[in-house]
Chains A and B, each alone.
Chain A
Amino acid sequence: MKRALTALFVGALALPAGCEDFLDVNTNPNGPEKVTANLYLPPMLHALATTPQLDGRFIGRYTQQWYVPIAGAFTTWDRMGYDPSSDNGGQVWRDVYFVLGQNLVDMTELANAEERWDLLGVAYLLKAWGWQSATDIYGEIIVKEAIDQSKFSFNYDSQEYAYSEVQRLLNLAIENLKRTDGAVNAAYLGRTDKVYNGDRTKWLKLAYGMLALNLNHYTRKALYRPAEVIAAVNQSFTSNADDALLAYPGTQNDDINFLGRTRGNFNGYRQTRFVVGLMDGTVFEGAVDPRMSRMLSPAPDGVYRGLDINVANFGALTTTQQPNNFYGYALAGGLQLPGRYLWADKVRMPIMTYAQLQFIKAEAAYRLGDLATALSAYREGISSHIDFVNARNTDNAQSPLPITAAEKATFLANTAIVPAAASALSLTQIMSQKYIAQWAWGHSEIWMDMRRYNYTDIDPKSGMQVFPGFAPPTLLFPDNGGKIVHRIRPRFNSEYVWNRPGLDAIGGLALDYHTKPIWITQP
């Protein structure tokens, strides 16, 4: 009996010690806790190309790339407002903090520990892209305190800080992407890098391109150094072959192009009179842009019309005069049929293009007073974008026919588009053509361009608006207090619910916060 009791006692003492291992069973069998560094990459690269398209639904209305006609009224975004208590316009916020978030932190640490400098460079570039995208849309953002699970209230950082952080990260990216030592391995990176297939030199060019884009936003600042912008562009893309594009596999909903016909996200969207005006000869003295019929959508009667954003629904347009949707069909039709331009399931969606960078160079050179460089970059921008439109329209066998060499030559020879003398080049031309080259995909940069020129600034050279034909909606959203939009409010279900003290400190709780100009566009 005594022995039995002793055995029981010893057993009882041993139990807690034995339980240590027995109870440590928290390795979730349903998913790994760590994966090899390159396996973190695909969701982030998907975000790089796709995330801007989700918020583009709304920024595209601020910038009048498109309009959502509804009967008897106007949508909040078409009135330069926002959807209260909604996460609309918060996709960049979500993906920068969550899809990149901790995943990017882990990938950076792994790449660094394994001396994979090429992947580390891509990691820094992604981090920079996140802050650049977020601050350009939201202004003040959380940078210093971000990605910390021990905190539940976050302080915002100024846009000035975010911009300097982007530059620091891009310089780190450049430094790492130049390296060929350590475990740099194009095959390893290429296994999951479906943008450049592991080619570090192209990532290096993209890093320079992103630096040029960042530095060129300082046009209203005394700090603006156009020569540095041009230098960065010169080290970036040298042709369309360098374009950063993501091909959508198109195997299931989540990996089909967000703009694709199958997703049907843009059934209710129609082109505006503003964008049609830039291409149908209204603005540029009768020069009909050959890209119009390859990018925009005709009405059933074959005519390209844009909708007036101040007229509810389709106004007086008859059914055959109402522009088709961007896929090229009336109403929600056209499922399984070819789309147009970027509006196709398996298109290669641009992240940054050679044409875009040439326009950045043109603007910088123009501001530097080097008009010859400005004109050649400007011409190269249009020419390469025409090639880009042709290339995109063959990605997924879209319906528009290619722009012929003759059409292209005629268009580039038209002095209303490309002046014969460099001295005749105007900002209106540069910025309008840049707008066309970024239409439907480069939302953040389009909006930044418009905000840098206060939407309606006049270019003294041309005597026209920098964005000719653009006018803010006459009926602004009630909360705007008569002011035009300058930023999107941070994601509602992140910040307006769970981080109100942080928002309060930057004035983010004000009803008209979205009309507060962002730092970079102010002198």
Chain B
Amino acid sequence: MYKRQHDYLYVTVTGRNDWTSTIPTERNSFFYPGVTSSFVFTDAFPTIGKFMTGKLRAAYAEVGNDARPYAYRPALEFKTTSNGGYGYGFTGPNLALRPEFATSYETGTELGFFDDRIGLDLTVYRKEKTDQIVNDIRGSYGTGFILFNLNGAATRNEGFEATLRATPIEQRGFSWDVLANFERARGTVLALPNALPESYVSDTWLYGNVRNGVQPGLSTRALTGLFYLRDTIAGSRKMLIDPTTGLPLRSTAFIDGGYDRQPDFTVGLTNTVRFRNLTMSALLDFRKGGDVFNATEHFLTSRGLSNRTLDRNTPRVIEGVLRDGRENTANPTPNNIVVVPAVQTGFYSGISEELFIEKDINWVRLRDVTVRYTLPGRYFKARDASMYITGTDLFVYSNYSGLDPIVNGNTAAVGGSGGAGIDFGNFPMPRGYAVGFKLGY
């Protein structure tokens, strides 16, 4: 018997050099290589190939990026203050600007069993950005400027993705396909330029005193804010209370509160069932974990419009310890000051956004469902014809108290981790229905 020998090992090497005008000329040329490889082990070892198909993949790539135009040298602006004249704009010079680099590693496998009726793709990746250019990061005005474009941030994104394909039933006139995607991604900020304590995308500071501030060691999707001050005793974290008002004290600096908008994992599940001329497919979306800031509720509460302010005449003592100098000792003074929110309006007007960041928000949502009927016979000389009805976002089950936790308080264009998970007056995904008639030629 003749047996064809397959190729089973592939290696691709790439190299690329960029020259850019947006980096100072002495550093404006940069080279970056990449290599990808795959090993079809079921072809290499035909004894295994009898039972399955399988491939191992591995890739390494570097990618360099330049800066935005005019990022490193400031220009003077005409000033609109008295009698005109010129002065620098907010952004200071950075003649040391250099390209940023990303190094990524990826490895995975593609497996198929039972004549590919079950398939499994697994991918593990890690991408580290170094010398990352942070645009418009602030610094002390002691520099003479307010904003800078700086190298020096480092972030790491890593994750695991799995795709399972299966066709549990395949008979004449009846089949069932399942496609499941699992994704777990993690982003961590490793460093910020010049050891600055925090960086944030100012467009995400869209409500109150919470923003997508990142600090080294935190998730790229962290939130910083003027959260409540707490005692520094390990494991205690009791709120500090102002002894003159009985209300909790808030930080005057943007601090980390342990929040992360990144979900633990997401799963997308597509089921497709065919029965004779009828096809039904549905995409279910699952998410586990990840925090959502319900700014709408904070807005309503601080103005006394939320239902949670209905008990405003009820006297209460906020749990915490008085900031009387003993708050960080073994014997702090428990707060015993009674406040009535209806009288002490600071109870609501000064309430921290912290209480409205909802932790570990999960959901199950029906992204879309389509029922399609393939018409027998020919219509209008079409190759095939079908009628369908589609519904999108028909339901969502979530432990989120607001309208829909999928919100993004801004658009993807703001950069960074954006305004995802910041819900300020956002509308939920609309339910959609569509009925259609399709002709294929």
Question: Which residues of chain B come closer than 8 Å to A102, judged between CB atoms?
Answer: 88, 92, 144-145
Distance of A350 from chain B, by nearest CB (Å): 14
Complex CA distance for A287 and B325, rounded to whole angstroms: 50
In this complex, what residue of A is CB-closest to B250?
A84
Let me know if A146 is at the binding interface, CB within 8 A: yes
Question: Which residues of chain A come closer than 8 Å to B331, judged between CB atoms?
Answer: none
Which of B122-130, B194-202, B231-239 sits within the interface?
B194-202
Question: Which residues of chain B come closer than 8 Å to A49, judged between CB atoms?
Answer: 82
Contact A498 B140 (CB under 8 A): yes
Contact B72 A101 (CB under 8 A): no
Let me know if B93 is at the binding interface, CB within 8 A: yes
Complex CA distance for A127 and B253, rounded to whole angstroms: 31
Complex CA distance for A26 and B193, rounded to whole angstroms: 23
List which B1-56 residues lie within 8 A (CB) of chain A.
19-22, 24-25, 28-29
Let me know if B314 is at the binding interface, CB within 8 A: no
Let me know if B207 is at the binding interface, CB within 8 A: no
Complex CA distance for A26 and B138, rounded to whole angstroms: 22
Complex CA distance for A42 and B197, rounded to whole angstroms: 35
Contact B19 A33 (CB under 8 A): no
Distance of A187 from chain B, by nearest CB (Å): 16
Contact B82 A145 (CB under 8 A): no
Interface size in chain A (residues, C-beta < 8 A): 68
Contact A23 B140 (CB under 8 A): no
Contact A40 B21 (CB under 8 A): no
Question: Which residues of chain A come closer than 8 Å to B75, judged between CB atoms?
Answer: 28, 30-33
Let me know if A34 is at the binding interface, CB within 8 A: yes
Distance of B157 from chain A, by nearest CB (Å): 26
Complex CA distance for A46 and B250, rounded to whole angstroms: 37
Let me know if A312 is at the binding interface, CB within 8 A: no
Which of A151-159, A321-329, A432-440 sits within the interface?
A151-159
Contact A103 B139 (CB under 8 A): no
Let me know if B252 is at the binding interface, CB within 8 A: yes
Q: Which of A40, A85, A94, A101 contacts B226 (CB 8 A)?
A: A85
**Size range of the interface on B?**
35 or more
Question: Which residues of chain A come closer than 8 Å to B87, judged between CB atoms?
Answer: 40, 43-44, 99, 103
Distance of B224 from chain A, by nearest CB (Å): 11
Distance of A149 from chain B, by nearest CB (Å): 5
Let me know if A308 is at the binding interface, CB within 8 A: no
Let me know if A160 is at the binding interface, CB within 8 A: no
List which B231-261 residues lie within 8 A (CB) of chain A.
242, 244-245, 250-254
Complex CA distance for A500 and B225, rounded to whole angstroms: 17
Q: Which of B19, B139, B244 contacts A478 (CB 8 A)?
A: B244
Complex CA distance for A147 and B88, rounded to whole angstroms: 13
Contact B82 A147 (CB under 8 A): no
Q: A30-B75, A43-B87, A151-B143 are in contact. Are A497 and B28 (CB under 8 A)?
A: no
Complex CA distance for A152 and B77, rounded to whole angstroms: 24
Complex CA distance for A148 and B148, rounded to whole angstroms: 13
Question: Which residues of chain A come closer than 8 Å to B194, judged between CB atoms?
Answer: 152-153
Contact A85 B86 (CB under 8 A): no
Contact B144 A39 (CB under 8 A): no
Q: Which of A24, A255, A491 contacts B25 (CB 8 A)?
A: A24
List which A23-70 residues lie within 8 A (CB) of chain B.
23-26, 28, 30-35, 39-47, 49-50
Question: Which residues of chain A come closer than 8 Å to B429, judged between CB atoms?
Answer: none
Contact B85 A41 (CB under 8 A): yes
Question: Which residues of chain B come closer than 8 Å to A93, judged between CB atoms?
Answer: 141
Which of A118-126, A175-183, A244-252 sits within the interface?
A244-252
Contact A42 B143 (CB under 8 A): no
Complex CA distance for A311 and B253, rounded to whole angstroms: 31
Q: Which of B22, B77, B140 contacts A499 (CB 8 A)?
A: B140
Let me know if A337 is at the binding interface, CB within 8 A: no
Distance of A287 from chain B, by nearest CB (Å): 38
Per-residue A-contact encoding for B70-87, CB less than 8 Å = 1, 0 else: 101111111111111111
Let me know if A203 is at the binding interface, CB within 8 A: no
Let me know if B440 is at the binding interface, CB within 8 A: no
Question: Which residues of chain A come closer than 8 Å to B197, judged between CB atoms?
Answer: 497-498, 500
Let me know if B333 is at the binding interface, CB within 8 A: no
Complex CA distance for A478 and B144, rounded to whole angstroms: 34
Contact A26 B144 (CB under 8 A): no
Contact A148 B86 (CB under 8 A): no
Let me know if B390 is at the binding interface, CB within 8 A: no
Contact A40 B146 (CB under 8 A): no
Q: A45-B82, A85-B252 are in contact. Are A502 and B140 (CB under 8 A)?
A: yes
Q: Which of B72, B77, B88, B143 contacts A26 (CB 8 A)?
A: B72
Among A26, A47, A255: residue with most chain B CB under 10 A: A26
Q: A46-B82, A194-B82, A255-B81 are in contact. Are A33 and B76 (CB under 8 A)?
A: yes
Let me know if A241 is at the binding interface, CB within 8 A: no
Distance of A395 from chain B, by nearest CB (Å): 14
Contact A42 B84 (CB under 8 A): yes
Contact B142 A154 (CB under 8 A): yes
Closest 5 CB pairs of A and B: A42-B85, A101-B144, A31-B75, A152-B194, A84-B252
Q: A84-B252, A496-B253 known; 17 other A-B pairs, CB under 8 Å?
A: A22-B21, A26-B72, A35-B86, A43-B79, A45-B83, A46-B81, A85-B253, A97-B142, A98-B141, A99-B87, A101-B141, A103-B86, A149-B92, A149-B143, A152-B195, A492-B252, A498-B138
- 5 A–B contacts, CB within 8 A, in A order: A24-B25, A42-B85, A43-B86, A192-B83, A491-B141
